[in-house]
Chains A and B, each alone.
Chain A
C-alpha cells in the first residue's frame, strides 16, 4: 500500500475543480493568491474614498449569496427566487439575539446559521420535490410570504425593523467602520470559495453535479438525489444566512425591504450575469451588478427627472439579452479572452485499492440464479407492455433479451432496474425479493446498469462521470469534503475510476468533457461507470449501438472477460451478430410476452422467432 494522495495536489485540485481555472498548475495556484493579496491591500490605498470600500463590502455580501446559487442553480440545476429570504433569516436572527438578549454577535453567528439551515431544510422538504419550473414558482410564493410575515409580526418589529444592532468585535476592537469590516467580509468570501470548491470536488459534490445529468442515472448508482437536492439547497441558504449575519452588523439595522422578492431576483441576476457554473463567475456577477446599479442610481434619476428604482429597467433588459446571447454568463468569455484552458486532474495510480463494496449473504453465495423474474407484468392503462414474463440469469452467464421494436424489452429493463414499479409479479436478485424497490436500493444489491440513451453528466469530465459509479463504495460526507478530510478516499475512488477506464480502453480520454466523446465511446464510459460500482450483475441497454465493428469486437471481448471473472450480464441488444456470438442464452420477447428462450443456436432455428422477425418467410 502506498501513501494517500500527495497533499500539494489537493490545493491545486481545489482551485481547478470547476475545470475552468487558469492553465498551468503553478499559475492556478498563483492567480488566486495574487487576487487575495490585491484584495488585502485595497483598503490600504491612500486616498481611496470610503465609498469604494462600502461598495466592495456590499459586493462581498452579495457574492456570498451568489456563490450559494452556483451550487444550487448552476451546478444542481434548481432555480430559486428565494435566496433573499434566507439572507433575512440570518440577519433577523442575529438582530433579535443581539439587541434583545444581549448575545455577543459571534455567538449569534452559529444561531443565525442554525436558524437559516433549519428554515431552509423545512422549506426544501416541502418544496424540493417539485420539478422543473414549479420549484422557482414556489420559491416566489415563499419569498413574498416571508416578506409579509416579517413585516406584520411584532417579534420582527413589523415594517419598522430592528435598529441598534451592535458591531462585531474582535479582541475588544469593534469592527464598526467599512475598512475594518472589509477584511471580515472578504475573509468570509474567501472561505466560502474554498468550501464550495472543496464541496463540488468530492463524492457529495459529484452527486449534486450529477443532478443535471439526470436523476435516474444518479439514482441508479445509489445516489439519494432527494438528499443531494436538499443538501445543495441548505448549503446555498447557509451562505445566504452568513451574508445576512454580516449585513445586519454592517448596517446595524434590519427591515424587511432588502429581503423581498426583488432582492432574490437580483441575486439570481448576479449568478446569471457572471455565470452560474463557477464561483468566480458568481463573484464577477455580484461585482458587475452592484457597480452597474450604483452607477445607474446616480444618473438614471437625473436623466428621468424623478427618484425611483429605475435600474430595474436596465437589469431586466440585461437579463433577457444575456439569456439570448450568453446563457452561461460572462465568466467563460473572460476565461476565453485570457486563453485559459480547462485544468487536468492528477491521477493517483499509487493511491491504493478502493475497498470492495459490501456484499449481502445472498450475493456471496455461489449457487442459485442472480436474477429471477417471475410473472412480471406492467400495464399502462389498458396497454399491457410486459405480460407475465419469467426468466432467470444464472451466475457467470451472459443473457440477451431480444425482440422486435415494441416488444417490451425497455419496459422490462426499467422494471428490473427499479426505474418503474411493476403492476404485479416478482423480481429477485440473489434470491432476495427486490420487487418494487427503487433504483438506488437495487444498486446496493450489486446491480449496475447502462442506459439506452446515454446519461452522462454534461458538466463533468469522463473520469468524474466514471467516479460517480463508485458512489456506494465511498463514505465521505459534505463536512468532511469541505474540510478536505476525504482526500485519501477520493484518491482511491479516482484510482479505481482510472483503472476501470483503462479496462475499457479509454484511459487517455479521462479528462475530456464527457459529452465531447463520440456516442459509441460514451456508451463505453457508461460501462466503466457501471464497473466502478464493483457489481455482481451488469444490465446493459443496447451497449453496441453506435459502435464501429472493431469496437464491438473489443466490447465483446471485455464482456467475456467480465463473465470469466464471475460477473453475470443481462443485455438488451438489436445487433444480432453481436448477440449471437456473445451470449450463453437468449430470451426472445414479442408483444410483452416471452416468445422463446434458449441458446443462440436454438433461437436461430426457432420457427416462432423466425416468424416474428422475418414475417414467416422461413
Chain B
C-alpha cells in the first residue's frame, strides 16, 4: 500500500466516520436523557435514504403511511396513558402533533412528489417524514417503560428494531437504492481527489455538531435536556418533565438518523436493513465513549471509519468482524479493576 492508496482509504474512513459520528452523538444523547440504548437508530438511516431515493424518482414514498400510522398509534397510546388526567388542551396538543402534523406532511408530499421538486425540497420532505417518527416511537414503546431498568429498555429497543426492519421491508421491498450525489464536483488537493459529496458530508456533520453544541449551551430546552441527563429526579424537582426531554431527544434521534441516511445514500447502495449495520457502527463509537461523552464518541466514530476503511483494503471479508470486535478490548479496559457493581434488576 502506498501513500496515495492510504490517503484514499483515510478519506473514505473519515467520511464514513463522520456519518458514524452523527449516529454516535445521537445514541449518546438518547441514552443519557432516556437510558434507552436506541438500537433502532439505524432504521431511520435506511428510511431516510430510501425515502429520498423514491422522491428522486418522482414516486410518493410509502413511509408517509408509516408516519400516519405511527402518529395515530402514538396519539391513542398517549390518550390511553393519560386517560385520568387528560384536559381538552392536552388532547388538542396531541391531535396537533400526532395527527395534524403527519397529515400535513403526507399531503404536501403527495402533492409535491410527482412534480420532482429540487433536491433541497426532496431532502426537506424526507426529514419532515422521518423525524416525527422518533417521538412517536418513544411515546408508544418507551414512555410506558420509563421506570424500567436499562436492560428492559434495551430489550424493548430490540423489539422496536425488529418491527421497524420488517416494516422497512414492507415499504421499500428487498431491492436497494442509491441516490444521485448532491454535487458531482471533484477537487484535487495534492495527489488526492476529493469529491464534492464528501465535502458536503463533512460540512453538514460539522454544522450539525456546532448546532447541537449551541442548542445545549444556549437554549433553555437544551439545558433542560442536559439537566435530565445528569439527574432525572433533580430535573423533575426543578420542573423539567422527563417525558418532554425524552420526546425531544427522540426527535433529535429521528432527525439525525434521517439526515445521516440522506448523506450516506449517494455513497453506497442502501437496503431496508443496511441502516442497522451503519447504526451499530455508530454504537461502537458510542460505547467506546462509555455512552456518555460526545467528543470521545465523535473521535471514536472517525477511528471506527478509518479502521473499517483500512480493514476493507487488507481483509475485506472480515471488516465487520474487525469493526465490531474493537469494542471488546474497549469494554474490558473500561471495566477492568472496576469494583464489583450491583446489577440493576429487571
Contact = CB atoms under 8 A, between A and B. Distances in A.
Contact of B324 (A141, A215, A323): A141
A141 B318 contact: no
B162 A130 contact: no
Contacts of A323: 145, 148, 152, 155-156, 159
A255 interface: no
Interface string B305-328: 000000000000110110011011
Contacts of A138: 327-328, 331
A132 B344 contact: yes
A356 interface: no
A265 B75 CA distance: 29
A273 B200 CA distance: 46
B151 A79 contact: yes
B331 A134 contact: yes
A327 B346 contact: yes
Given A268-B155, A316-B160, A309 B331 contact: no
Given A323-B145, A323-B148, A141 B328 contact: yes
B332 interface: yes
A136 interface: yes
Given A309-B166, A312-B165, A320 B343 contact: no
Contact of A319 (B162, B318, B328): B162
A324 B141 CA distance: 8
Given A133-B37, A316-B164, A319-B155, A215 B343 contact: yes
B169 interface: yes
Interface stretch (A1-9, A143-151, A441-449, A520-528): A143-151
A160 B152 CA distance: 36
A211 interface: yes
A318 B341 CA distance: 32
Nearest to B326: A141
A131 B158 CA distance: 19
A273 to B, nearest CB: 11
Contacts of B169: 306, 308-310
A99 interface: no
A121 interface: no
Contact of A306 (B173, B280, B320, B341): B173
A225 interface: yes
Contact of A141 (B152, B170, B325, B336): B325
B165 A320 contact: no
A225 B108 CA distance: 59
A79 B155 contact: yes
B163 A313 contact: yes
A149 B141 CA distance: 34
A129 B159 contact: no
B154 interface: yes
Contacts of B318: 148-149, 152
A343 to B, nearest CB: 23
B314 to A, nearest CB: 13
A381 to B, nearest CB: 15
Chain B interface size range: 35 or more
B158 to A, nearest CB: 6
**Could you tell me the dominant secondary structure of chain A's interface residues?**
helix
B317 A152 contact: yes
Nearest to A218: B340
A331 interface: no
A308 B174 contact: yes
B213 interface: no
Contact of A310 (B151, B158, B170, B317): B170
Contacts of B344: 132
A327 B346 CA distance: 8
B287 interface: yes
B151 A145 contact: no
A319 B159 contact: yes
B162 A315 contact: yes
Interface centre among A138, A149, A306, A312 (most CB of B within 10 A): A312
B306 to A, nearest CB: 19
Contacts of B174: 308
B60 interface: no
A513 interface: no
Nearest to A123: B328
A579 interface: no
A71 interface: no
A139 to B, nearest CB: 11
A137 to B, nearest CB: 6
A141 B150 CA distance: 18
B144 interface: yes
B339 interface: yes
Given A132-B343, A134-B331, A145-B324, A319 B158 contact: yes
Contacts of B340: 215-216, 219, 225
A150 to B, nearest CB: 10
Given A316-B163, A320-B160, A140 B325 contact: no
A214 B342 contact: yes
B2 interface: no
**Could you tell me the dominant secondary structure of chain B's interface residues?**
helix
A127 interface: yes
Contacts of A420: 339
A77 interface: yes
B202 to A, nearest CB: 28
Interface in A62-109: 77, 79, 81
B226 interface: no
B44 interface: no
Contacts of A313: 162-163, 166-167, 170
B287 A131 contact: no
B159 A315 contact: yes
Nearest to B165: A312
B341 A131 contact: yes
Contacts of A388: none
B283 interface: yes
Contact of A458 (B150, B170, B173, B345): B345
A320 B160 CA distance: 7
Interface in A305-354: 306, 308-320, 323-324, 327
B189 to A, nearest CB: 34
B232 interface: no
Contact of B335 (A129, A269, A317): A129
Contacts of B170: 304, 306, 308, 310, 313
B320 A133 contact: no
Given A141-B328, A323-B145, A212 B162 contact: no
B154 A320 contact: no
A141 B165 CA distance: 19
B343 A77 contact: yes
Nearest to B316: A152
B129 to A, nearest CB: 19
Interface string A510-525: 0000000000000000
Contacts of B144: 324
B178 interface: no
B159 A137 contact: no
A148 B321 contact: yes
A420 B341 CA distance: 11
Contacts of A383: none
Interface centre among B321, B332, B338 (most CB of A within 10 A): B321
Nearest to B154: A133
A125 to B, nearest CB: 10
10 contacts: A132-B151, A137-B287, A141-B325, A215-B340, A219-B340, A308-B174, A309-B166, A313-B162, A313-B163, A316-B164
Interface of A: 77, 79, 81, 126-127, 129-134, 136-138, 140-142, 144-145, 148-149, 152, 211-212, 214-216, 219, 225, 262, 265, 268-269, 272, 304, 306, 308-320, 323-324, 327, 420, 458
Interface of B: 37, 141, 144-145, 148, 150-152, 154-156, 158-167, 169-170, 173-174, 280, 283-284, 287, 317-318, 320-321, 324-325, 327-328, 331-332, 334-336, 338-346
Given A77-B346, A420-B339, 9 more contacts: A77-B343, A132-B341, A134-B287, A138-B327, A215-B341, A262-B162, A320-B156, A323-B148, A323-B156
